Each structure stands twice: as C-alpha cells, then as structure tokens.
Structure 1
Amino acid sequence: MMGAFLKTAVTVQLKIELPSGVFQALRQAAMQSRTSAEQLAADCVSQSFETALRHRVLIERQEEIDQALLTIAEFVGALASASVAPPAEHFPVRDKR
C-alpha cells in the first residue's frame, strides 16, 4: 500500500530523529547555506536517494555487460571448436638457411 502511495505522491513528509550534535551541525550548515535545517536535511536525503539509484543502475549495467561478454566468449568458443584447421598451403614454411 505504501509503495503505491510513494509512486503517486508529489511530496512525502518524513520524520527523522537526529542526535543533538548532528542536529547542531546541520543547523550551523543550514545557516551558512542560508536555508533551513529542514530543507538542508531534505536535500541530503534526496541526494542520498539519487546516489543510491545511480549506484543501482550502474550495477545493473555492469551485470548486463558481463552477460554480453559471456555470450560473446561462448560464441567465439563455439566458432573455434567448430572450425577446421586451414590447409597447410595457407601457412608456408620458410627455409631457415
């Protein structure tokens, strides 16, 4: 049920609990950035989600590339095992004198 809500919601309200030292650092960083602590925390969460999504996409692409390389290797192996050695006249022996 919650997954369906997240897919259709424009914004989602979350409650987070932070140790007081982390909140103080967040509040000071927000003041330096001229924004609210809430907005800075939301930006951090958003960036973390984006980073996780990019990481997941990269892992999926890496798995797809690995599978494609395996397919190519199997194809080359099948070609190599099916091929017949070329006639000797294609490889002339040179006199070493």
Structure 2
Amino acid sequence: MEPRDHAIGRSRGGLTTKNHLVCDGKGRAVAFILTHGQTADTSMLADAFEQIRVPGKAGRPRTRPDRVMADKGHPSKANRVWLRERGIAATIPE
C-alpha cells in the first residue's frame, strides 16, 4: 500500500496519478495539483483554481482569471455555479 502523499491510486489503466493543471492564455502553468488516478477531474476544478497566485507589478497577486476554457471533464453544475459566483466566464463543452 502506497502512502497517501504519493498520489498513486487505481484507475482503469492500473496504478496511476492525475495532474490537474491551470495554465494562462500563453500556456504557462499557474497552478498544479497531483492526485490519485481515480480522482474525478470535475471534483478538482475549484481546488486547482484556489492555488492560483500570479504576482503583478504592484499590489496583491492575481487569484482569479477573467475566463476559463476547460475540457469536457469539468462541466458539472457545481463547477459552473462556483465560476459564476466568482464572476468568471466559462467555455466548457457539455
């Protein structure tokens, strides 16, 4: 049995991990979470976005994007509500 902090879990493909990555418009990583392979993509959207800290020239780091583009692994109603409550526009296929 692997320790919990190794993020190795069972999936259809066997023992796997999942990378939950948030990138900016230029493809640069701004947040990253590693989880067990059986963790659903849709359940990690809010957690991944809570990791965003983009420093600017002055003031507090930016923590919220203007728009989100996500793949069809993230279209849950809870995710759409979470984004809408924060004023973040979303493009997520059903």
Q: TM bucket by the smaller chain?
A: under 0.3
Q: TM-score, normalised by structure 2?
A: 0.23
Counting helix residues as a fraction of each chain, which structure ranks higher? 1
Greater relative contact order structure (CA < 8 Å, 6+ sep): 2
